[in-house]
Amino acid sequence: MPYNCRHCGGTYCGEHRLPENHNCTGIQDWNDPGGVFDSGFDDSLDSGGSGGTTSRASSLSDKLPIDTGAGGPLAYFRGNMTYTFLLLIWLTWVAQGLVAFLGGPTLYQSLFVLSPEHPEYVWTWVTSVFAHALPPNFFHIVFNSIVIFFFGPLVERYVGSKEFAILFVVSGAVAGLAQISITALQGGTTGVLGASGAALAVLGVITILNPDLRVYLFFMIPMPLWILTAGTALISIFFIGSGGSGGGGIAHMAHLVGLLIGLAYGEYVKRTQNVRTPSQIQLGGGGPGGPGGPGGPGGRRRF
């Protein structure tokens, strides 16, 4: 089975998965005072006494008081903040449904929706990033999950789990705050929820690192990644320029701000790190955030 090198991003067979066995381009940038390269294959075997350092891609989930080691019930999420965040998104979605059913729209809004009327509810700066439109609208959470699923692991592999987590949460929160700011300036009161700001930040990073990466929209239509990113940006700019920053129920300002954050961070990574990217990837769905529409109890825009 193939293995991914967490130092250069390449894919190799079992015999060449170690950095020293495939002429790894990231060796010169890796701090290895112990003189023994860590393949990242099983960080749970690190004794901590060899004097070596932990791989940059080690997961924040390793610090959780639960078994995320090899063979544990959550081994799939070890070293993988992308899938940990995807799990949190879907768990939050379930919690939204329970709160909406048991607590009503007021409690739902105060817990999950970032609103221009109550920006002081600082917890919604984060919870709104993981919250999504409730049924019968499944497109919102599904399409955001698709973008994060395909592009998130690439970004996390290049920047590390801690940096990826910070990028995801901060870009999502800043994108949401930008959306409610322009809504307030336009005299509106509609709140926002959704991970599209964070998803577009991830997309922006990959666009800078590998603009010619071939993606398959709807799993059928091939195009370079930069065209997909440019098209998404142009749509948001059009709606914002026409005074519809929330046109179609989509938070276009949040989309644009998240993308700009990702592009800026991608440029930083490109200038400071030596990364290798794949040549193609398949992308399903209709773009981050999905079609517009109300997202559950009370008015809000999805992003």
The verdict on pTM exceeding 0.75 is no
Q: Is the per-residue pLDDT at 194 higher than 50?
A: yes
211 vs 4, residue with greater confidence? 211
Question: Would you state the pLDDT for residue 217?
Answer: 72
Q: Is the per-residue pLDDT at 199 higher than 90?
A: yes
Q: Is the per-residue pLDDT at 126 higher than 90?
A: yes
Could you tell me which CATH number the domain at 80-272 has? 1.20.1540.10
Question: Which pLDDT tens digit goes with each residue over 127-155?
Answer: 999 999 898 888 889 989 999 998 999 89
Pick from 110-114, 157-161, 286-290 the range whose average pLDDT is largest.
110-114
- Provide the angle, in degrees to the nearest 10, between the axes of the packed helices 81-102 and 139-159: 150
Q: Is the per-residue pLDDT at 289 higher than 60?
A: no
Question: Would you state the pLDDT for residue 294?
Answer: 29
Tokens of 202: 């991830």
Q: Which amino acid is at 14?
A: G
> 3-state SS string over 218-285?
CCCEEEEHHHHHHHHHHHHHHHHHCCCCCHHHECHHHHHHHHHHHHHHHHHHHHHCCCCCCCEEEECC
The DSSP call for residue 59 is: -
Question: Would you state the pLDDT for residue 136?
Answer: 84
Q: Cα(289)–Cα(248) distance, rounded to whole angstroms?
A: 11
Question: Which pLDDT tens digit goes with each residue over 248-286?
Answer: 568 888 999 999 999 999 999 988 876 665 555 544 433
Span 89-109, mean pLDDT?
A: 95
Q: Cα(261)–Cα(203) distance, rounded to whole angstroms?
A: 10
Which DSSP helix (H) or strand (E) runs through 81? helix 81-102
The DSSP call for residue 52 is: P
Q: Cα(234)–Cα(250) distance, rounded to whole angstroms?
A: 14
Percentage of the chain lying above the pLDDT 90 cut? 41
Average pLDDT of the chain? 77
Q: Cα(59)–Cα(74) distance, rounded to whole angstroms?
A: 12
Q: Is 79 left (phi over 0), alpha (psi -120 to 50) or beta?
A: left
